[in-house]
Structure 1
Amino acid sequence: MKQILCLSAQPWSTVPTRTQQLMTRLKNAKILFLNPPTRNYRKPGRKVRPGLTVYSMPPSPKAVEDKLVRLFRARRQIRYLLKLMDTYRFREPLLWCTAPEQVHLLDAIPHSGLVYDCGQDWLDSPPEWESELTLAADVVFAASAGLADHLSPCSDNIALLPNGVSYPMFSRTSAECPPALADVTGPVLGFTGTLWEDLDLTPVIQAARALPHCTFVFVGKREYNPRGRALESLPNVRILGRQLPVDIPDYLARFDVCLHLQRRSDYGGDIVPSRIYEYMASGKPIVAMVYPDQVEHFPDVIYAAHTPGEFIRLCVRALDEPAGWPAQRRRDHAAAAAWSLRAKQVVQILTANGLY
C-alpha cells in the first residue's frame, strides 16, 4: 500500500478542497493529511476515511530565503513530522506538496518521490520558493494552462490537472426545493460560493435592478464587501448564507440561471473554479463575467459577459434558452471533469513515473 504524506495549503473542510477531493479518491494508499500550521496542532488525528488521517502542522516563524536559516526555523515542524511518520511507520512516503513555502521541509523529510500540485497562482510567495519546489518535484500538476506555462522553465514533467466536480452529487435529477425558496414564483438567478471582499458585485446589482421580476439568490459564506449592503437592500435579492454542501444541488435545481462573478484577485488568471463544473453538472444556463482578453472557458455552453450591460442582456437570453443540446453538452463537460477521473489520471501519471 502506497504511503503518502500530504502537506495541504488549506485545512480539511466540510466544503472539500481540491487536495481533499484528490486524496479521498486515491486507492490503495495510506495517507497522512497535514493541515496548514495552527496553534491547535496537538489535537489527535482524525480518521476521515479508512487509510486517511488528518493532523495539523505546528506553527513556525515565517520562512526566509536563506536555505539554512529557514531549515533551522522549521525544526519544530520537522520534528513533528518525523515523529508522526515514525508513529505510522512511514519510511519514505510520496511527499505531496501544495504550496511554495513547503519547500523548506524537503531536505529534512525522507521521501521516495515528490509531487507539487499547483492549484493557484502564489503571488504573495517569493518566486524562488516555487522555482525550487518545482525543480525538486518528480511530477508537477498544474490546475491551468497558464500555471503550467509559468512553471515550465523549472520542470519538463508538468501535467495539466484542472479542477473538477463531484459529478454524481451535482448531476442528480431528484431534488427538493429548499424551504428558503419555496415562496419564489418567478425566475431565479443564483450564485453559489463565498461572497468575497473583492468579488465584483456591480454586474449583479445592475441586473437585479433591471430585472425586478427575477429573484437573485446567493448561497455561501459571506465576507464584508463594499457593495454588499447595496446588494442586500434590493427587494428581489436573497442572501441565504452558508448551507450544507449536500444541499447545494437542491439550490442549483431551483435556479433557472447560474451566475459566475469575478474577484479582482482573479485578474489575469485562467483557472476554472470548481463552481463552474458544478453549474455545468446541473445542466442549467450559465452567465459568467470575464475580464478583457481573458480566455473564455467552454464558450459553447457559457454566456460570457465583459460589461455589466452585456451581463444583463445575457441573463435575459439565458432565461429564454430552449431545452435541448446545451444542457446535455454542459453535463458532458462536467462528467469529463469528475474528480474520480482526475484522481485516476493522477494515479496513471504517478505510476508511469514509478511513484505509485
Structure 2
Amino acid sequence: MKLKMLIFGEDWGRHPSSSQHLALAIRDQVEITWVNSIGLRQPGMSDLGRLLKKGVATGRQKGERAPFTVVAPKLWPLATHPWLQTLNRSLLKAQLSELGPFDYVWCALPSAVEYLDLFPGSQVIYYCGDDFDALSGVDHEKVAPLERRLLNKAHLVCCASEALQQKLGCKTCHVLPHGVDLTHFSHPRPRPLDLPDGPVLGFYGALAPWLDYPLLADLADRMPECNLVLIGPNLACPEALLEKTNVHWLGPRCHDQLAAYAQHFDVALLPFRDCPQITACNPLKMREYLAAGCSVVSTRFDAAIEQAGVDVTSGREAFMEQVLKRLNHPASRLDQRRSVVGQGWKDRGNQLLRLLQFASA
C-alpha cells in the first residue's frame, strides 16, 4: 500500500515549479493530493478576479498533466482574524475529509503551517525553494513568523540551495537542488518561426526586478549584430530596452515550448542583479539551458558557481567578453548536456524518497 502525501504548493499548472516536478517524479511510490495556493500575502482589489475564479472552482479537479487529485482550497489568504482562521481550517478540513489520513504533509509555502493541526499524525516536510524574506510579491512581515513556526514543526526540511540551508540553519535541513527533464530539453526541435535570423542571445523567464536591465541594454548596444531575445511576462523591463532595434520581446511561452527556443540560442543568459533573492536562488532555467546544449553565461551567484557548464562572470566587462567568446567559440553541446546528467527530476525524486525514509526513522 502506497504512503500518502498532501502537498501545499502553488496553483497546479500555473508555472512549472520544483514542487510540481518532484511530485511527478515520486507519484509511482507515493499517493499524492495537491492543494493549490493558499497565498503568501493578503489580497487587494487587483486580486478579486482571481479570488472569485478560485472560489467558484470545483473542490477537486484533475490539474493540467496532474495524475492525482488537485484540491482548489476555498480560503482567505493569510487571514488574521481568529474567526476567519477558524473558518478557513473548517473549510479545508471538509474539503480533505475523504482523502486522508496522510503520512506526510509537504509545505512549499510557510502559510501552510496554519493548517498543520488538521493532520496530527503526519510527518511535516518544509520544502524551501526561495528566500521568502527577499521574494517579491510576499507579505514579508506576516510570512517570516510563519516560516519560523514551520521550521519548529518540521520533521524534515529540504532547501533548493546551500545558501538557503545556511540561512535556515536547522539540524534537519538537507539540500535538494532543482533538477531538469533532460530528455525533453535535449530532444532536437525545429527553430521557432518567431526567433529572428542571426545570432541570438536568449533569456526566458519573468522579466522581473531582479534582472540586470542596464547590463542587458549595454549588451544590446555593444553587440548590434546580435539579437537579444527575451521570453516571459514583463514585470519590470524598461520600455527603453524593449524599443532597441535588436531587442525582441516575444512575450510568455508555455513551458513545453521553451526547449525549442533554448536549443537555438547561440548564448543563453543568466543576467541577474546582486540581491538577496538571487543569492539564495537555484534557477530551473540554468539546468534547462544546459540540457538544451546551450553555452551559458551568468552573472555571479552561488548556484551558478557550483554548476558545471556555466560561465560565471564578475562585472559588466567580463560578462560582455564572455558572451563574445562564446559566440566565437561555442561550448560543446554534448558536453553541456553531460554536465547535467544525474541531475534529472527522477534523480531528485529518488533523493527525496531516501530523505523521507530518514525522516520516518
TM-score calculated relative to the size of structure 1? 0.86
SS in 2 for 1:279: helix
Is 1:122 aligned with 2:141?
no
Look up the match of 1:85.
Answer: 96
Instruction: Tell me the amino acid that sits aligned with residue 114 of structure 1.
Output: V
50, 60, 64: which is aligned to 2:76? 60
Alpha-carbon distance change, 323 to 271 in structure 1, aligned in 2, over 3 angstroms: closer
Alpha-carbon distance change, 80 to 267 in structure 1, aligned in 2, over 3 angstroms: closer
SS in 2 for 1:101: helix
Distance in 2, matches of 1:238 and 1:29, equals 43
Q: Report the CA distance between 1:22 and its aligned residue.
A: 0.9
Look up the match of 1:214.
Answer: 226
Look up the match of 2:358.
Answer: 352
Q: Report the CA distance between 1:268 and its aligned residue.
A: 6.1
CA deviations over 1:296-341 (Å, ceiling 9, x no partner):
52475322233222221111011122554xx444322322221111
Distance in 1, matches of 2:95 and 2:33, equals 9
Instruction: Tell me the amino acid that sits aligned with residue 97 of structure 1.
Output: C
Distance in 2, matches of 1:192 and 1:303, equals 18
Look up the match of 2:158.
Answer: 141
- Equivalence map 1:180-219=2 (5 Å): 180-181=194-195, 184=197, 186-219=198-231
98, 101, 119: which is aligned to 2:108? 98
| Count of residues in correspondence between the two structures | 337
Contact map agreement 2:269 2:297 (CA 8 A) in 1: yes
Look up the match of 1:31.
Answer: 32
Contact map agreement 2:308 2:339 (CA 8 A) in 1: no
- Equivalence map 1:9-28=2 (5 Å): 10-26=10-26, 27-28=28-29
Q: Report the CA distance between 1:284 and its aligned residue.
A: 1.4
Distance in 1, matches of 2:212 and 2:98, equals 48
- Equivalence map 1:253-332=2 (5 Å): 253-263=263-273, 266=276, 269-290=279-300, 296-298=304-306, 301-322=309-330, 324=332, 327-332=333-338
Identify unmatched segments of 5+ residues in structure 1: none
SS in 2 for 1:33: strand
Distance in 2, matches of 1:282 and 1:295, equals 19
Q: Which runs of 4+ in 1 moved over 6 A?
A: none
Q: Report the CA distance between 1:129 and its aligned residue.
A: 2.3
Alpha-carbon distance change, 315 to 168 in structure 1, aligned in 2, over 3 angstroms: same
Look up the match of 2:184.
Answer: 169
Contact map agreement 1:41 1:55 (CA 8 A) in 2: no
Contact map agreement 2:75 2:91 (CA 8 A) in 1: no
Distance in 1, matches of 2:67 and 2:97, equals 16
SS in 1 for 2:212: coil
Look up the match of 1:159.
Answer: 174
SS in 2 for 1:212: coil
Identify unmatched segments of 5+ residues in structure 2: 39-50, 134-139
SS in 1 for 2:171: coil
Alpha-carbon distance change, 205 to 50 in structure 1, aligned in 2, over 3 angstroms: closer
Contact map agreement 1:272 1:297 (CA 8 A) in 2: no
Instruction: Tell me the amino acid that sits aligned with residue 254 of structure 1.
Output: H
CA deviations over 1:68-111 (Å, ceiling 9, x no partner):
x75x54222212222222223x1244111112222222223334
Alpha-carbon distance change, 41 to 343 in structure 1, aligned in 2, over 3 angstroms: farther
Distance in 1, matches of 2:265 and 2:106, equals 38
Contact map agreement 1:92 1:110 (CA 8 A) in 2: no
Distance in 2, matches of 1:197 and 1:268, equals 11
Distance in 2, matches of 1:50 and 1:192, equals 24
Contact map agreement 1:4 1:96 (CA 8 A) in 2: yes
Distance in 2, matches of 1:194 and 1:126, equals 23
SS in 1 for 2:291: helix
Distance in 2, matches of 1:323 and 1:19, equals 31
Distance in 2, matches of 1:61 and 1:283, equals 41
